[in-house]
């Protein structure tokens, strides 16, 4: 639904430009039709280049998206297991672990991905996580029988968290991003100059090509910004659900 809403303004603008160009004195259908063979070859070559680059980037970004989703789920799952496991600790340590986890979740929910999407770390979140780390390492002194399992569980949380921060900060290189934008708008623009005598048929094909290219561009744009609002993006819902479960 969001994609359709984003396509509607594009279709309107494209249609106005199409009608303007089609009925301008610079547009000669006969010349374009006579040059149809050459235009098809050149237009197809641009389309193939765009398709190859787009397919490569989509595959790469989709892998990163999947890894980021797995990292978020792994971190949340690890925190929940640690919360439940800490019920075995001495009362003082247990309350401290519970408090640290709850504070950590509240800060992530409050700040969202404001720092992560820029490849930075929130000082407040880092402070709370350091407190949680100190509490976990204190388990060895207060409840040594639980130390091995606790450290193994906390190690998985740290690994998932590190991956989340790593994948959140990765983006398509600027040069490749600009190349894709240029190729997309080149295809959209040149689609108007493919010579077809019947106007409604020309419009049908050009608007289809333009919408397809623009849709691919929007997919690439969203995949490259997984933490920013778009047609799909990663939210803090997993953390909100966990916080609700442990505080109810």
Please report whether residue 72 resides in a domain. yes
Number of domains in the chain: 2
Indicate whether 115 and 74 sit together in one domain.
yes
- Per-residue pLDDT tens over the stretch 137-185: 888 788 888 888 889 999 999 999 999 888 887 778 888 888 888 888 8
Those residues with Cβ within 8 angstroms of residue 180's Cβ, 6 or more apart along the chain or in another chain? 50, 53, 54, 57, 172, 217, 220
Indicate whether 97 and 154 sit together in one domain.
yes
Indicate whether 51 and 17 sit together in one domain.
yes
Q: What is the per-residue pLDDT for 55? A: 87
CA distance 148 to 31: 79
What's the domain range around 147? 66-171+235-247
Indicate whether 239 and 123 sit together in one domain.
yes
CA distance 20 to 22: 6
**Paired tokens of 59:** 């595959």
CA distance 172 to 226: 12
Per-residue pLDDT of the chain (248 residues; tens, 9 = 90+): 577 777 888 888 888 888 877 777 665 555 555 555 556 677 777 888 888 888 888 888 888 888 989 999 999 999 999 999 999 888 888 899 999 999 999 999 888 777 777 767 888 888 999 999 998 888 878 888 888 888 999 999 999 999 988 888 777 888 888 888 888 888 888 777 766 667 777 788 888 888 888 888 888 888 887 777 766 678 888 999 999 998 87
Entry pTM: 0.77
Indicate whether 164 and 70 sit together in one domain.
yes
- Per-residue pLDDT tens over the stretch 85-109: 999 888 888 899 999 999 999 999 8
Burial of 66 from C-beta contacts in 10 A (0-12 / 13-18 / 19+): exposed
**Paired tokens of 49:** 């280049």
Indicate whether 29 and 71 sit together in one domain.
no
Indicate whether 16 and 118 sit together in one domain.
no
Indicate whether 159 and 83 sit together in one domain.
yes
């Amino acid at each position: 639904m969001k994609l359709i809403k984003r396509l509607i303004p594009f279709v309107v603008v494209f249609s106005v430009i199409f009608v303007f160009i089609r009925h301008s004195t610079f547009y000669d259908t006969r010349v374009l039709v006579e040059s149809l063979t050459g235009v098809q070859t050149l237009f197809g070559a641009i389309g193939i280049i765009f398709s190859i680059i787009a397919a490569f980037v989509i595959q790469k970004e989709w892998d990163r998206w999947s890894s980021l989703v797995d990292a978020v789920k792994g971190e949340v799952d690890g925190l929940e297991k640690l919360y439940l496991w800490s019920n075995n600790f001495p009362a003082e340590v247990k309350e401290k672990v519970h408090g640290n986890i709850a504070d950590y979740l509240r800060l992530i929910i409050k700040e969202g991905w404001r720092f992560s999407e820029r490849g930075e770390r929130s000082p407040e979140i880092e402070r709370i996580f350091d407190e949680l780390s100190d509490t976990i390492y204190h388990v060895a002194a207060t409840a040594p029988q639980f130390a091995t399992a606790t450290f193994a569980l906390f190690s998985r949380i740290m690994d998932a968290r590190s991956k989340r921060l790593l994948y959140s900060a990765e983006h398509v290189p600027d040069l490749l991003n600009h190349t894709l934008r240029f190729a997309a708008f080149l295809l959209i623009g040149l689609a108007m100059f493919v010579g077809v005598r019947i106007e409604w048929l020309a419009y049908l094909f050009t608007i289809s090509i333009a919408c397809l290219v623009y849709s691919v561009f929007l997919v690439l744009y969203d995949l490259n910004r997984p933490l920013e609002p778009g047609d799909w993006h990663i939210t803090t819902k997993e953390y909100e659900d966990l916080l609700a479960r442990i505080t109810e």
